[in-house]
Amino acid sequence: MVSTVIPVPPFDLVIFGATGDLAHRKILPSLFRRMAAHQVPAGSRVIGAARSKMSRADFRKAAGEALTRYVEAKLLAPALVERFLGMIDYVSIDAAGEGGWGPLAKKLDEKPDSVRAFYLSVAPQLFTPIAHRLAQAGIATPESRIVVEKPLGHDLASARALNAELAQHFDEHQIYRIDHYLGKETVQNLMAIRFANALFEPLWNSHYVEQVQITVAESIGVEGRGAYYDKAGAMRDMVQNHMMQLLCLTAMEPPSKFEPDAVRDEKLKVIRALDPLKMSDTVRGQYRANGKDGSYLDHVGNPASRTESFVAFRAHIANWRWSGTPFYLRTGKKLSARLSEICVVFKHPPHTIFPQVDTLRGNALIIRLQPNEGITLRVAIKDPGPGGMRLVEVPLDMTFASTLGPDGEMPEAYERLIMDVIRGNQTLFMRGDEVEAAWEWTDPIIQAWEDSGSRPLPYDPGGAGPIDAYKLTGSDGHLWREIAA
């Protein structure tokens, strides 16, 4: 299967924060890969912006180094690298100051017909000043796009304030709130599996689905992000955004059309249908030290911290489709493997003619985001060979790497999402009301933890979080899936 490339119009992409980690590790390499896939039209430009005083040549050199570091060597044909660096420019701008806006406006005015997009790859406190300056300097046109990334607020009040500030200068159709999980091929395939096949949708409800598990596990600790992380914790850093999005895509009703607002309306309905979380349905954890490697408290340098590096909870969606089906979600650091997956576990057959059926785990659709993106359907079959009717569970494997073949290597989430910005397609981006609804649901439980004065439970690195997490599923007669890559 060969992937097709959707043409996009010529564009000017201005990257604020162009000298930073995200720009070097993801944005520039993604643009390069899209160029290698012939998706970047001639005449397009990438204009870096940051405070550092650099010439265009300096920034090109830095961009070239980023490609060498983060793009597969086999893609780095010299002529292509040359072409890519040829479309790169740089302006020194302090988001909070006056200098640089005039030169940026002048550059952009050279190509009035190009799509204008501003990627704010900077700290969130700079989102509003940049949006304001872009409008004030007449750089943002009614069709320009602005891209922002998490954290989108710290709670409902700050998310509302951010949305309101952006809305002063940009219409909702111009705002692209990136959640890179939504750009993952498998996540989009979840929609394809559900809505392009007649097979699953009739079973996709509480009559047939026993439970759903969503796991986002990391094997690393806070790794240098301690100061930020300790103010956030797993609930704000992972659940409010990425995991809520996965939950929405798993549980939403079929949208009437595959169009941005039709999809986002359905996702929003899921968040609004969530029952408030009870304290007793949540388990928080903090990883302990492991030999020389310190504990969470050591890593964030705050012995009194009550921030969770692990959270697991049981959610209920109060609507006709899902009433009675528990959704178990967990995420944490220093777990046994780096793994992100959604697992939809189906009920056992209503009547069994094989005595062994009760010992099987049952059908499950496992949507794996990382590592090895793919979808697996667990089914029971007869164990081959003589020896009677013994059953065995096997995976029907849809690993995309093998399905797509060598020509169809999976694009990075950012590649897809940046091109969607240029195309003006917001389907895979969060709308402001979704972000607010997600905070509205997570805020009360964060508040309840704070009010309780209780501490997260300690857990050993390399495992599956605190033992109490097992009680969450265990009390319903269910078992978490193993966290194994």
Catalytic site positions: 242
| Residue number with CB closer to ligand NAP (130 or 311) | 130
Q: Which residues, other chains included, contact 366 with Cβ-Cβ below 8 Å and sequence gap of 6+? A: 341, 342, 343, 344, 375, 376, 377, 378, 395, 481
Cα separation, 22 vs 32, in Å, equals 14
Residue range at the interface with ligand NAP (CB under 6 A); choices 38-46, 87-95, 253-261, 454-462: 87-95
Is residue 19 a contact point for ligand NAP (CB under 6 A)? yes
How is residue 206 annotated by DSSP?
T
Cα separation, 354 vs 393, in Å, equals 14
Amino acid at 281: D
| Residue number with CB closer to ligand NAP (210 or 434) | 434
User: H-helix or E-strand containing 215?
Assistant: strand 209-217
CA distances from 186 to 92, 216, 250, 375, 419 (A): 38, 14, 12, 7, 18
Q: Six-digit token pair at 142?
A: 């009614």
| Residue number with CB closer to ligand NAP (16 or 322) | 16
Among 17, 153, 432, 456, contact with ligand NAP (rule: CB under 6 A): 17
Residues 148 to 177: which contact ligand NAP by CB under 6 A?
Answer: 149-150
| Residue number with CB closer to ligand NAP (316 or 333) | 333
Residues 247 to 306: which contact ligand NAP by CB under 6 A?
Answer: none
CB 49, CB 91: distance < 8 Å = yes
Whose tokens are 């301690």? That residue is 226
Among 62, 87, 91, 95, contact with ligand NAP (rule: CB under 6 A): 95
Least distance to ligand NAP from the beta carbon of 173, Å? 23
| Residue number with CB closer to ligand NAP (227 or 467) | 227
Least distance to ligand NAP from the beta carbon of 478, Å? 32
Residues 21 to 80: which contact ligand NAP by CB under 6 A?
Answer: 21-23, 50-52
In terms of phi and psi (left: phi > 0; alpha: psi -120 to 50; beta: otherwise), the region of 312 is beta
Rounded to the nearest 10 degrees, the angle between the axes of helix 156-169 and helix 432-452 is: 160
What is residue 406's three-state secondary structure? Answer: helix
Interstrand relation of 11-16 and 45-50 (parallel, antiparallel or unpaired): parallel
CB 53, CB 90: distance < 8 Å = no
| Residue number with CB closer to ligand NAP (234 or 377) | 234
Contact map string, positions 99 to 138, toward ligand NAP, x by CB under 6 A: ----------------------xxxx-x------------
Among 5, 57, 77, 96, contact with ligand NAP (rule: CB under 6 A): 96
Residue range at the interface with ligand NAP (CB under 6 A); choices 15-23, 166-174, 290-298, 350-358: 15-23
Whose tokens are 């030169």? That residue is 103
Cα separation, 343 vs 106, in Å, equals 51
Residues 180 to 209: which contact ligand NAP by CB under 6 A?
Answer: none
Residue range at the interface with ligand NAP (CB under 6 A); choices 38-46, 88-96, 289-297, 415-423: 88-96
Q: Which residues, other chains included, contact 248 with Cβ-Cβ below 8 Å and sequence gap of 6+? A: 266, 267, 268, 270, 271, 434
Cα separation, 11 vs 168, in Å, equals 24
Residue nearest to ligand NAP (CB): 20
Whose tokens are 């050591």? That residue is 298
Least distance to ligand NAP from the beta carbon of 154, Å? 12
Least distance to ligand NAP from the beta carbon of 100, Å? 9
Among 41, 56, 80, 94, contact with ligand NAP (rule: CB under 6 A): 94
Residue range at the interface with ligand NAP (CB under 6 A); choices 93-101, 248-256, 304-312, 363-371: 93-101
Exposure string (b/e) for 332-349, b if CB count within 10 Å is 16 or more? bbbbbeebbbbbbbbeee
Cα separation, 315 vs 332, in Å, equals 17
Least distance to ligand NAP from the beta carbon of 97, Å? 7
Q: Which residues, other chains included, contact 57 with Cβ-Cβ below 8 Å and sequence gap of 6+? A: none
Backbone angles phi, psi at 348, to 5 degrees: -70, 160
| Residue number with CB closer to ligand NAP (309 or 325) | 309
| Residue number with CB closer to ligand NAP (96 or 220) | 96
Number of residues located near ligand NAP, criterion CB under 6 A: 22
Least distance to ligand NAP from the beta carbon of 46, Å? 14
Least distance to ligand NAP from the beta carbon of 268, Å? 23
Is residue 418 a contact point for ligand NAP (CB under 6 A)? no
Cα separation, 2 vs 34, in Å, equals 15
Q: Which residues bind ligand NAP (CB under 6 A)?
A: 16-23, 50-52, 93-96, 121-124, 126, 149-150
